[in-house]
Amino acid sequence: MKRSSGVLMHVTSLPNDVGIGSLGQEAYDFVDFLVKTKQTYWQVLPLTTTSYGDSPYQSFSAYAGNTHLIDLYTLVDEGYLKSSDIDAVNFGDDPTKIDYGRLFLVRRGVLEEAVSNFKRLGGQDQSEYQSFIKKNQFWLQPFAQYMTVKEGFDNRAWQEWDEAYRYYDAKRVETYCQDHSGRYDYHLVTQFFFDQQWQRLKQYANDHHIQIIGDIPIYVAQDSAEMWISPELFKTDMLGMPTMVAGTPPDNFSATGQYWGNPVYDWPAMAKTRYRWWIERIKHNFYLYDMLRIDHFIGFERYWEIPFGSPDASYGHWAKGPGQHFFQVMKEELGALNIIAEDLGVVNEAVERLRDETGFPGMKVFQFGFNGKTDSIDLPHHYPANSVAYVGTHDNETARGWYEETATQLERDQMSHYLNRHRGEEAAHAMIRGIAASASDLAVYTMQDLLNLGNSARMNTPATIGGNWQWRMTADQYSEGLTERLLDLSETYFRTNPALVHEEQEQATSHITTEAAPSDTATTKTDHLVKKTTEK
């Protein structure tokens, strides 16, 4: 990495009037905001489907895109919906929070109408659709099968289905999906919609010199296509049920640890295939993103496994991960990759050694640096260049929330003194300035901290269910002051995107105004959002 910066803002948090952020106009506007402030990166959370608890880290599939993110207005432009199909729906009453329960009920009918029209109209998109299915069949067919059968059993997890379908039988499932072809096709077509919209948005970002940082959860959910179809990948019993599940030991977040419940991998079995399942997964993620944050990196060195059904995570123990062998095979198969190691949690020398051997940058969280009196490796003067600095992540309090609700007076005083915080400067802005000034090659700011929001805007509180993943910004929170402040950080601490600076200099010397037509190599929002429909 070169010295740079970016913003962590999940797609769901973007502002619009349909209840949840999407891959539509609001996403392109956000890219434009990053361009104006000379950022290099947009970091998102996992884009996969969400299940119980609405967490993007608990998905029905390690691959399938979250259909809540499909922009409905783009489907109008493409001729698959009418504006009245959208206007008639109440997607939520609070523009600052996502009502997932309501979205689950109201979006399905709208998307079913779009799928029906897509199948009826035909045209050029049909050939692209068939190509998409062929290219992605290895994960798309199992996902569509899983969801088709799952919906036939009132959306219950596979462990609660009738025995005939509880254990995967290819022929039986294929017959079932043929008998319920409308439901099966719905999942295929909506994944095509998602893929088209995401790839257009990514191309727009890349054309404007913004790179996307994605996020890959280390584990899959119990309630997932992978667990249903490939139980041999995990530690399971003769019936395919997990014998061990994932979590974390007791820590500052929870006195009993975190009981995630995800099945843990049978790493020796995976090693026999040269980690083929993981290689395909990572390869697909680099089709989606330019850089990839691997969640819970420490799990590749050692991981906390808990006997399935234990009362809490404190009953678990440490188990050995695949270590350096996994990353050696990955490099042999895929080459050098732009990966960020989420090395937070119980980090020992072995984890640090594994991170350093891979060469991946680790993460530094400024909030962890203050105890009111002593030095800490989480303070910026200790950050190595090969690292990514955050004030806090999606799992932490906002900077303002930490300062006002959690930090002691000693910790507040230490933070203010450490940063030479001037009178009137918000604590959140001072802490952002601290990581911007650090030696870390990359500084990433959460949108909540840039907006100086309290804990009501917190994205996730670990070890809790309910009330998470809901925060949304509103369009009026974009302001000239916000843009100027972020641009000033980029310029003051030498984190400006060099490609954007070069482009700006070229425009100045060529007397090209900002109103001039885009170059042949650049693309506009309209190029990506509105498709030609002459075939229809």
| DSSP letter string, 303-360 | EEEEETT-SSGGG-EEEE--THHHHHHHHHHH-S--EEE---SS--HHHHHHHHHHT-
169-184 burial string, b = 16+ CB within 10 Å, else e?
Answer: eeeebeebbeeeeebb
Taking the C-alpha atoms of residue 504 and residue 481, their distance in angstroms, rounded to an integer, is: 21
Provide the 8-state DSSP code for 514: T
Tokens representing residue 214 in the block: 């994605």
The yes-or-no answer on residue 484 being catalytic is: no
Phi-psi region of 368 (alpha: psi -120 to 50; beta: other; left: phi over 0): alpha
The active-site residue, picked from 113, 207, 395, 426, is 395
Gyration radius of the chain's alpha carbons: 23
Which two structure tokens, joined as six digits, stand for 184?
């099966």
- Contacts with 261 (C-beta within 8 Å, 6 or more apart), sequence order: 222, 245, 246, 247
Question: Tell me, what amino acid is at 157?
Answer: A
Question: Which residue out of 342, 397, 411, 449 is catalytically annotated?
Answer: 342
Q: How is 197-232 classified by DSSP, letter by letter? A: HHHHHHHHHHHTT-EEEEEE-SS--SSSHHHHH-GG
DSSP string across 423-483: TT--HHHHHHHHHHSSS-SEEEEEHHHHTT--GGG----TT--SS-S-B---GGG--HHHH
Whether 395 is catalytic is yes
Told to judge if 342 belongs to the known catalytic residues of this protein, a careful annotator would answer: yes
- E runs forming strands in 14-104: 41-43
Q: Which residues are catalytic?
A: 295, 342, 395
